Structure 1
Amino acid sequence: MIQDDVTVFVDRNLRGARFTRSTLAGAVMRGVDVAGLDIDAPWLADGALLVNGVDVVPLVEAELNRRFPGRDLRHATDPADLRAAWAALERAWAAAVDRVQSMPDGAADVPVGGEWSFAQTLRHLAFAADAWLGKAVLRLPQPFHPLGQSHVEYETDGFDMSVFATEQPTFEAVLAVRAERQAMVRDFLATATPDLLAESRPSAWWPEHIVSVLHCLHVIFDEEWEHLRYALRDLDAQG
């Protein structure tokens, strides 16, 4: 029913319902059975999530930082801290790659629950580095690698999406591109200074929106940590 322009569910059974790319911001739940409820919200830290009157966001953030050493530096502002944060990311991803390579052949290409496979995730992270470092910060004339994995909504930037590969590449090819893009970020951070981080750039996809170089790097760090969490979750589901 609709009450004051708000959809109200009363005595409804939503067991097993799946919400994807939907907003539940400001939703209020009272007297609900949430046993087994699985919430994956990349922007959880941007607001509050109250469970029985307790804001659980700080608890979730603390636990994720415990599980992923170095994650707490993802929004660092000092160049040395950013370098340490990137080194932590590289170690975490190296362990994930080792895990995949120890699994049966083809594990890297298995999607779980309609999500990207591990290989597609690495391709997307290459794309993210190309967009936010290669395009936004370095302003390279041809920033994108053909094996990058984009989101369809990025087609609206006037960019020719035909550059991207239409056939599934080998995992070895994906790892090679991934290593190149990791090195690109690492090399940039090696000589980054506070003045460089404070410089302004047009946003990767909204050029009318001016952001700092530091902001662009923070986007890359957020992408890396969130997708690592997704990837490990889906590897766990594979068994």
Structure 2
Amino acid sequence: MTTYSGTDEFEGATFVRASFKGATLRFSDVSGVTMRSVDVGGLDIDSHDLFFGSLFVNGVDVVPLVDAELNRQFPGRELQKAETPEGLREGWVAVQAAWQETVAGTPPELVDAHVEEEWSLVQTLRHLVLATDAWLRGGILRMPQPFHEIGQIFTGAEEMGFDMSIFRAEPPAYDEVLAVRAERQQLVTDFLATATPELLAEERDNPWGGDDWHPSVGDCIRVILEEEWAHLRYVRRDLARLR
């Protein structure tokens, strides 16, 4: 099967009576794509950025419908948008309870298993360590080097110039991942315990750089919550397939 990587040759192209059956698109830009009179049986779309835009199916923007359904499937998820300290604390408790259920219910033989090019449970927990480090330790607390060495960074970070020497080359043991993850969870719990509306409103720099967005402390916490819920969904989806 042919793989097209790093290409823009299809931008603005028109495909007529072409077959994309069984094709896979990863880390690709399909914004503004128009599809008419197409067969979409079994079409599977997964986009973390879905809720920042629109997706029209037969003239209906389905983004609000998807958002509402995910809130139904994951009670407490709606609190990732909370504006108050109380709401954020409640949202954090909800997502951590959901994660505890998933981790405790995963058999040992599946913690390192993964579907296709997706992350395993262990890798996902390592990424959530990194997300907490970036947005709490780095963004909010302004630590110069906030990252733990077992963190799992996003695909393409090295190509963006990120210093990968921060991270350990050999994968850590599962028990160590759980221990570091628990420490980072407690950091968020402790921070939220004393957070005030005034603190949440304070401005910070984007921990990933750039001058176009200066998040508030509350924004940083909301990003952590979004990461927690999104990756919980991914892990539960993949574990269901693995089982």
SS in 1 for 2:215: strand
SS in 2 for 1:7: coil
Unpaired segments ≥5 residues, structure 1: none
C-alpha separation in 2, matches of 1:236 and 1:166: 29
Q: Which amino acid aligns with 2:206?
A: S
TM-score (norm 2): 0.91
Q: Which residue of 1 aligns with 2:219?
A: 215
Q: Which residue of 1 aligns with 2:117?
A: 114
2:90 to 84, 94, 104: 84
Q: Does 1:165 align with 2:168?
A: yes
C-alpha separation in 2, matches of 1:133 and 1:25: 31
Normalized per residue, which structure has more strand?
A: 1
CA deviation profile, 1:123-181 (whole Å, cap 9, x unmatched): 00000000011011101233111111112544478754212111121111111111111
Q: Which residue of 2 aligns with 1:151?
A: 154
Q: Which residue of 1 aligns with 2:240?
A: 236
Q: Which residue of 1 aligns with 2:29?
A: 23
Q: Which residue of 1 aligns with 2:126?
A: 123
- Do the aligned residues in 2 keep the contact of 1:157 with 1:205 (CA within 8 Å)? no
User: How far has the Cα of 1:194 moved from its partner?
Assistant: 0.7
2:143 to 140, 143, 160: 140
Per mean C-alpha deviation after superposition, the further-off stretch among 60-69 and 211-220 is: 211-220
Q: Which residue of 1 aligns with 2:48?
A: 42
C-alpha separation in 1, matches of 2:135 and 2:159: 16
Q: Which residue of 1 aligns with 2:231?
A: 227
- Do the aligned residues in 1 keep the contact of 2:129 with 2:180 (CA within 8 Å)? yes
Sort the Cα spacing of 1:11 and 1:207 in 2 relative to 1 into closer, same or farther, 3 A: closer
Provide the identity percentage. 52
Two-structure CA RMSD over aligned residues (Å): 1.6
Per mean C-alpha deviation after superposition, the further-off stretch among 167-176 and 126-135 is: 167-176
Sort the Cα spacing of 1:196 and 1:228 in 2 relative to 1 into closer, same or farther, 3 A: same
Q: Which amino acid aligns with 2:79?
A: L
TM-score (norm 1): 0.92
Q: Which residue of 1 aligns with 2:4?
A: none
Per mean C-alpha deviation after superposition, the further-off stretch among 7-16 and 49-58 is: 49-58
C-alpha separation in 1, matches of 2:160 and 2:42: 40
Q: How many residues align?
A: 232
Q: Which amino acid aligns with 1:23?
A: D
Report runs of 4+ in structure 1 exceeding 4 Å deviation: 155-159
Sort the Cα spacing of 1:159 and 1:37 in 2 relative to 1 into closer, same or farther, 3 A: closer
C-alpha separation in 2, matches of 1:69 and 1:199: 29
- Do the aligned residues in 1 keep the contact of 2:128 with 2:228 (CA within 8 Å)? yes
Q: Which amino acid aligns with 1:74?
A: Q
